[in-house]
Amino acid sequence: MTGAAKGANVTIYQVAARAGVSPATVSRVMNGARVSAESERLVRAAAAELAFTPNRTARRLRRNHSEVIALIIPDIENPFFTALARGVENRASAGGYSVVLCNTDDDPARESTYIGIALAEHMAGVILAPAGDASDVGRLVAYGRPVVAVDRSLARPGVDAVTVDNRAGGQSAAESLFAAGYTRVACITGPSTVETAQLRVEGWRQARDRHGTGGDELLRYADYRVDGGRAAMADLLALGEPPDAAVVANNLMAAGALDALRDAGLTPPGFGLAVFGDLPFASFTRQGIRVVDLPARELGEAAADLLLGRIAGDDGPARTVVLRTDRSPREKK
Amino acid sequence: MTGAAKGANVTIYQVAARAGVSPATVSRVMNGARVSAESERLVRAAAAELAFTPNRTARRLRRNHSEVIALIIPDIENPFFTALARGVENRASAGGYSVVLCNTDDDPARESTYIGIALAEHMAGVILAPAGDASDVGRLVAYGRPVVAVDRSLARPGVDAVTVDNRAGGQSAAESLFAAGYTRVACITGPSTVETAQLRVEGWRQARDRHGTGGDELLRYADYRVDGGRAAMADLLALGEPPDAAVVANNLMAAGALDALRDAGLTPPGFGLAVFGDLPFASFTRQGIRVVDLPARELGEAAADLLLGRIAGDDGPARTVVLRTDRSPREKK
DNA sequence: GCTATTGACGAAATCGATTTCTTAGACTTC
DNA sequence: GAAGTCTAAGAAATCGATTTCGTCAATAGC
């Protein structure tokens, strides 16, 4: 031991001694079981005097579950995920749970490590925004630990998921550009292995086909990151017959795409741009850009609600909640 | 209980039985104590077969400390703090610790709640970016729990702190604007109660005095938020003799200030702007802006190192680590 | 050859709260 | 008034890993 007044950790036994009752009675008072009014008064007085705080570790050991949930996300620096985290935290703390935020940097190995920790820590449940494709979620399911996938659904029966209607979002993003008079609307999306990236492309295709302007020559797969968006846009602009607008499937790539546009001497709305997800703190750059608002915080809230339900014992079949994106993307001021 | 194969939680006793040794021996193997080669082999084999993971709750109860540290920050959606969090997490996880991220929204009541949780959970330590002024850190200190203040120092002896040299940063930000030929350099800073805000102002004053351009009529206190920055800049531009440049004390206010400039038909570098802290994902808007890079990640790393040292038993006097800001802010491309 | 020393390892105590039993009264009910 | 509920509350087991304390045997030392 290092410090001086370290301990000061009052135990239930000390409270019991002070109140002149047994530890069992103290526990009953603290947990709302039947106790005589007199005992309760004594215990509460003693607890207050000693500033007793129950040791959660001991409680957890006995009860065999914790009041902590893990939130595993691929990128803590992406505002979409921090907003999502905030949603989770709001709901979780309202329900008496703490949230441990785990950042995987899109690395399946780190994701796997965190899943292992969640198991070893006996955390109550896990909310997972899957990093790669093959998420190592089997272990959680095998041990019967509640899991909710968020943002992307896991191709795994029995796991709840909360997503947005990416296809509809992609379609309305593209439609809004066509409606504004653009004719060659490109699409920059995420990795082809990622569900959200594919669905957003599909929405774009639907709008494109309706307006009959060619095939996939204006489609680019990138990596959901700034540099990827920049490269993809540069590539599109170098085409013999370049696009005059683009749907960009996430906020980070849009930042890169704007870079590339600027380098080519273009800016919205001269070049039409519709983006999935907002870039907070950048209102001054949103001019002329159509933003499909993603309900990031609501995603987190819905996922947390679902998870807390499972933890509370909800045994029903797996559900997938799909939230609506903003169907009428408008230019921001 | 809900699910089916719930438990499956292998205990040290089962491993011991399988290996034909006592639980004590299993524990010794898992913790690197002296054990015969033969026993070790048997135990490792049994542990592997049963996929044994030690129950951390039980370990924590016995050892009376957890491998979890709390990181309490005022705004999870501010990129500065997420970068800081990442730094903390890097170091902590390298040292075998998990990080619980707590978001206070600048609310002292929430901060206090989280400090209470950190105590009750017997977390190993706390890294605190204090929300308001009077941080309720006394309880932690009273119980001898290690605490490190980050970003702002607490006016409390005995608490380690990690900060940046805000005064020097403020000075070099202003100097770089004067050097570029601007003559009326304003300053938009944070709340007057906040240490970083005051120090940055002082740096600005030093540069201003050297270049002899008036007093504090070009100084505005705002709130470190987007709207505050917008209002402050609008106010400055409405002056009879408005500034031609400004030092803005954080990234969020800079976003607001840029809004106000745009509304007035101004953009950098026509109007000079030097900003504390970067806005990631917004490279396309940094043109012509001088950014004083804040070593957010390094702050987190230093704080974590300090805290882990304390947890390990470092008993020395309280230290304050001051990191250097970027002393030569340049325009970003 | 006989006592120290050392090493491996099992038995059992321990961490602190919860949760069975159990028991002792108090209160009904016929 | 005897037998049958309840209720309150203490004693003790329990959760799972760690750690102290001994024991037993092998090696070292004189």
pLDDT bracket for residue A44 (50, 70, 90): very high
Question: Which is higher by pLDDT, A103 or B331?
Answer: A103
More confident residue, B9 or B8: B9
Task: Please identify which residue in the block is written with the tokens 């959660």.
Answer: A56
User: A82-96, A120-134, A173-187, A239-253 — which is least confidently predicted?
Assistant: A120-134
| pLDDT average, residue stretch B291-316 | 89
Strand partners, A68: A98
* Nearest nt to the A56 alpha carbon by C1': C17
pLDDT of residue A332: 52
Contact A120 B82 (CB under 8 A): no
Least confident of A40-44, A169-173, B315-319: B315-319
Q: How confident is the model at residue A119 (pLDDT cuts 50, 70, 90)?
A: confident
Q: Is the pLDDT confidence value at A278 over 70?
A: yes
* Overall average pLDDT of the B167-180 stretch: 91
Using CA of residue B99, residue B104, residue B108, residue B113, what is the dihedral sign? negative
As a whole number of Å, the CA-based R_g of chain A is: 26
Tell me, what's the pLDDT at B278? 80
DSSP per residue, A7-71: -----HHHHHHHHTS-HHHHHHHHHT----HHHHHHHHHHHHHHT----HHHHHHHHT--SEEEE
Mean pLDDT to the nearest integer, B84-89: 92
What tens digit of pLDDT does each residue of A209-236 get? 988 777 888 899 998 888 899 999 999 9
B119 and A CB contact within 8 Å: yes
Span CA (B298) to C1' (C10), Å: 49
Digit-coded pLDDT (tens) for B111-146: 888 888 787 777 889 999 886 666 678 878 877 788
**What was the pLDDT predicted at A157?**
72
Paired residues of A246 in beta bridges: A186, A273
Residue at B96: amino acid letter:
G
Please report residues of B whose CB lies closer than 8 A to that of A143.
5-9
pLDDT value of position B6 = 33
Task: For chain A, give the mean pLDDT.
Answer: 85
A101 in contact with chain B, both atoms CB, cutoff 8 A:
yes
pLDDT of the residue at A284? 53
Of A3, A54, A252, the CB nearest to B281: A252
Residue nearest to nucleotide C20 (CA to C1'): A24
Asked if the model's pLDDT at residue B54 lies above 80, the reply is yes
What's the rounded Cα separation, in Å, for the pair A255 and A260?
9
Q: Compare all CA atoms of chain B with the CA of A119 and give the residue at the minimum distance.
A: B53
User: Least CB-CB distance to B281: which of A3, A66, A226?
Assistant: A226
Q: Is strand C within 7 Å of residue A23 (CB)?
A: yes
Q: Is the distance between the Cβ of B64 and the closest atom of strand C smaller than 7 Å? A: yes
Residues 6+ apart with CB under 8 A from B22: B16
* Strand C bases, protein C-beta under 7 A: 7-12, 14-20
pLDDT for residue A45: 92
Minimum distance, in Å, between the CA of residue B61 and any CA atom of chain A = 6
Q: State the amino acid at position B48 in one-letter form.
A: A
Structure-block tokens of residue B132: 């308001």
Q: H helices then E strands: how many in chain B? A: 12, 12
In terms of pTM, does the model score above 0.75?
A: yes
Residues whose CB falls within 7 A of nucleic chain D? A 20-25, 34-36, 38-39, 58, 61-62, 64; B 9-13, 23-24, 26-28, 30-31, 52, 54-55, 58-59, 61-63
Q: Check residue A1 and give its pLDDT.
A: 30
Contact state of A61 with B66 under an 8 Å Cβ cutoff: no
> CB of B28 within 8 A of CB of B22?
no
B329 — pLDDT class (breaks 50, 70, 90) = low
Q: How confident is the model at residue A187 (pLDDT cuts 50, 70, 90)?
A: very high
Å between CA of A243 and C1' of D12: 78
B21 touches strand C (CB under 7 A): yes
The arithmetic mean of pLDDT across residues B76-88, rounded, is: 89
Nearest CA in chain B to A267: B284
CA of B22 to C1' of C9 (A): 8
Q: Decide if B61 and A66 are in contact by the 8 Å CB cutoff.
A: no
> Does the pLDDT value for residue B5 go beyond 50?
no
- Please report which confidence band the pLDDT of residue A263 belongs to, taking 50, 70 and 90 as the band edges: confident
Asked if B174 and B186 touch (Cβ cutoff 8 Å), the reply is: no
Mean pLDDT check: name the lowest of A3-12, A94-103, B296-305. A3-12
Q: Cis omega before residue B269 (within 30°)?
A: yes
Question: Which positions ≥6 away from A294 have C-beta within 8 Å?
Answer: A80, A164, A169, A276, A277, A278, A325
By C-alpha distance, which of A214, A270, A206 is closest to A241?
A214
Q: Spell out which residues of chain A touch residue B79, defining contact as CB-CB under 8 Å.
A: 77, 79, 281
Which residues in chain A are closer than 8 Å to B314, comparing Cβ atoms? 2
Q: Could you tell me the pLDDT band of residue A270, with boundaries at 50, 70 and 90?
A: confident
Predicted confidence at residue A283, as pLDDT, reads 57
**The pLDDT of residue B1:** 31
Contact state of A313 with B58 under an 8 Å Cβ cutoff? no
For the segment A284-325, what is each residue's pLDDT rounded down to a tens digit?
A: 566 778 888 889 999 999 999 999 988 887 878 888 999 987
Whose CA is closest to B310, among B163, B158, B164? B158
CA B96 / C1′ D17 distance in Å: 18
R_g of chain B computed on alpha carbons: 26
More confident residue, A156 or A86: A86
pLDDT above 90 for B202: yes
Mutate: best of B147, B226, B281, B315, partner A, most A CBs <10 A: B281
Q: For the residues A55-61, what does the mean pLDDT come to?
A: 87
Q: Is A251 on the interface with B (CB under 8 A)?
A: yes
Calculate the dihedral angle through the C-alpha atoms of B81, B83, B88, B92, rounding to the nearest 10 degrees: 140
Q: Percent of chain A having pLDDT more than 90?
A: 33
Residue B111: per-residue pLDDT:
86
Q: What single-letter amino acid sits at A187?
A: C
CB contact under 8 A, A57 and B76: no
Question: Using the beta-carbon criterion (under 8 Å), do A5 and B315 form an inter-chain contact?
Answer: no
Predicted local confidence at residue A6, as pLDDT: 33
A28 CA: nearest nucleotide by C1': C18
A6 and B122: CB-CB below 8 Å?
A: no
- For residue B274, give the nearest of B124, B169, B192, B202 by alpha carbon: B169
Mean pLDDT, range A48-74, rounded to an integer? 86
* pLDDT cut 90: percent of chain B above it: 33
Mean pLDDT of chain B: 85
Residues of A in contact with B77 (CB under 8 A): 79, 82-83, 86, 280
Residue bearing the bigger pLDDT, A205 or B109: A205
What mean pLDDT do residues B172-197 have?
A: 90
> DSSP assignment, residue A244?
S
Give the closest-approach CA distance of B85 to chain A in angstroms: 9
pLDDT at B326 over 80: no
